Structure 1
Amino acid sequence: MRNIYSLSLITLALLATAVEAQPNAKKQLSLAVSEGTSGGIDAEAARAKYQPLADVLGKAIGGEVKVVFVREFSVLEKGMKDNQYDLVIARPSDYPARGLRDYQYKFVATAKPDGQCMLIVHKDSPLKKVADLKGKTFIMPEKNAYMTRFCRAELRDQGIILDSEAVTYVREQGAIPFSIENKITDVGGVASYSGAYKQWLSSGHRVIHQSKPQPYMPLVASQGVTAEQIGKMQGALNELGSSEAGNQVLKRVGITGFITTEESRLRKLLEWLGV
């Protein structure tokens, strides 16, 4: 009897040790949000825009998710490198993609619709197709901006090396339609999700080419977020479009839904961009 009693004590001790060794899932997570310096929002606007989404994620895991606004991409990347953020959602997409590739972040979702580089020309332009753009003047966002890299990769695939063309780079995307409309330059590149593109469509001007679609506004999770938590959050994201309340959350963020099954596309993005 004494041997059985001793064995039971040893078994209980081992079980207790195993339970203690298991990492406890954090119940309060941070959601870093970044739209970059040209996103047009501040910390207060970011919280108003993204906290309803954070609340959906928090409810899914039985905890709390708080929005942390990150304006500078350098701060965002350092935060991922130092594992400061539990969750990251950002546009442009290359920073969350770097989180996957370089900082052991895990895929959660990307937003719908995908992003595209839209090459725009004046409505009276004689240019009809991408091949006509060789030797013309281009206007793009800053040289190292995501959308410039995006457009550069698309043009490369279409046989045009942007760095060999005459290009003006500008900080504000709103300057791109202005330049085309006033015939200062021949062709410009803007993001499909930008306000500049929406205004362009309403002006009656033309889009000469749309790039292949790529993942937009990815959501990734740090190493400390468990697979179970990610699964629960993905389930909640997939359900958002099925209710009026969920659709209001999506509308506030400016998207139509989430995709939780296409991790490989996001992992291939940086290779396509050449970074």
Structure 2
Amino acid sequence: MALLLAGWWSAGPGWAQTPAPLLFAVSEGTSGGGAAVTDEQMETKYKVLTEAMKRALGQPIRVKYMRDFRMLAAGMASGEFDLVLARPSDYPARGVRDQGYTAVTATQPDGHCLLVVPKDSPYQTIADVKSVQHQRLILPERIAYMTTFCTAELRDRGLPVDPAKTHYVREQAAIPFALNHKLAQIGGIASYSGAARRLDKDGLRVLHKSRPQPYLPLIAGKRFSPDQIARLRDEVVGLAQTEQGAKDLAALGIARFDPNPQPRLLALLDWLESKTPVPDSR
């Protein structure tokens, strides 16, 4: 009898039930914490966002830390993930374009490709490089988002990347070493990378800063109504308007949110996939 009543209490008609948790996938790209980071640690780190999600959507949130880009893409394709916050930005952009997700916000500041050189480099502007035929370039690994990003920027500047003259490295942290030891003349790094934060210490300077692109988009799956999306957007954007929310966001490197990133996310994919130079609209 007790078992029967227990089942009736949890599932019987007319009795309140705890809503099932929404699955929130978080990817921090190749610069994230790696295999040592747990889902629980990510849940603690992003608590300011998950609490806003719970307020907006009325359901508990379960965080899934995604280290593998293939699994991130598969989870979006299958609809397994209700919400996704991810870099590199081309993954959530494809979620919007190809899997029916809706862009909720993107974080600010935007992301950039930084083309960097040693402080004593003779190059002063990107225009100086155009007259040089034998410069060697160093970029992250060939399949990396930032390599695609930097390659698109160089293409638009009239400097198509020659793979035969390009070093590709797994970690962006290796790029300053290569530049300082004359293994390459120009490097491409992400503006939000550790390498970018250490430029002065590593004896490097920015030669060229690319056009801005959306950074760390938050997207929501097809199950959510437009009203739910609007409530979620308002809650997340509103975090930056409170003293405690702004403080919590600053700890994540977030200054504020772009509340309408969807057109820019779709334009990002068009830009990355283009084979011809795209005029800079800045």
Give TM-score, length-normalised by structure 1: 0.86
- Is residue 60 from structure 1 mapped to residue 56 from structure 2 by the alignment? yes
CA distance in 2, matches of 1:143, 1:132: 25
- Report the CA distance between 1:47 and its aligned residue: 2.3
Residues 168-209 of structure 1, C-alpha deviations (whole Å, 9 max, x = no match): 000011001111122221010000000111011344521100
Aligned identity (percent) is 45
Q: How does 1:40-79 map onto structure 2 within 5 Å?
A: 40-41=33-34, 42-43=37-38, 44-79=40-75
Corresponding residue for residue 7 of structure 1: none
Q: How does 1:26-41 map onto structure 2 within 5 Å?
A: 28-41=21-34
The residue identity in structure 2 corresponding to 1:208 is: L
Equivalent pair of 2:176/2:204 in contact (CA under 8 Å): no
CA distance in 2, matches of 1:193, 1:167: 22
CA distance in 1, matches of 2:102, 2:89: 14
CA distance in 2, matches of 1:201, 1:55: 37
Equivalent pair of 1:110/1:216 in contact (CA under 8 Å): yes
Residues 81-137 of structure 1, C-alpha deviations (whole Å, 9 max, x = no match): 000000001011000000011111111011100000000000001112223334201
The residue identity in structure 1 corresponding to 2:33 is: G
In proportion to residue count, which structure has more helix? Answer: 1
CA distance in 2, matches of 1:181, 1:48: 38
Equivalent pair of 1:53/1:249 in contact (CA under 8 Å): no
Equivalent pair of 2:104/2:261 in contact (CA under 8 Å): no
| Structure 1, 86-95 or 200-209: larger mean CA deviation | 200-209
- Is residue 179 from structure 1 mapped to residue 178 from structure 2 by the alignment? yes
Corresponding residue for residue 6 of structure 1: none
Give TM-score, length-normalised by structure 2: 0.84
CA distance in 2, matches of 1:117, 1:165: 21
- The two structures, once aligned, show a CA RMSD in angstroms of 1.7
Aligned residues: 250
Q: Which of residues 109, 112, 116 is equivalent to 1:120?
A: 116
CA distance in 2, matches of 1:69, 1:127: 41
| Structure 1, 225-234 or 139-148: larger mean CA deviation | 225-234
Structure of higher CA gyration radius = 1
CA distance in 2, matches of 1:162, 1:45: 39
Equivalent pair of 1:27/1:62 in contact (CA under 8 Å): no
Unpaired runs of at least 5, structure 1? 1-25
Unpaired runs of at least 5, structure 2? 1-18, 275-282
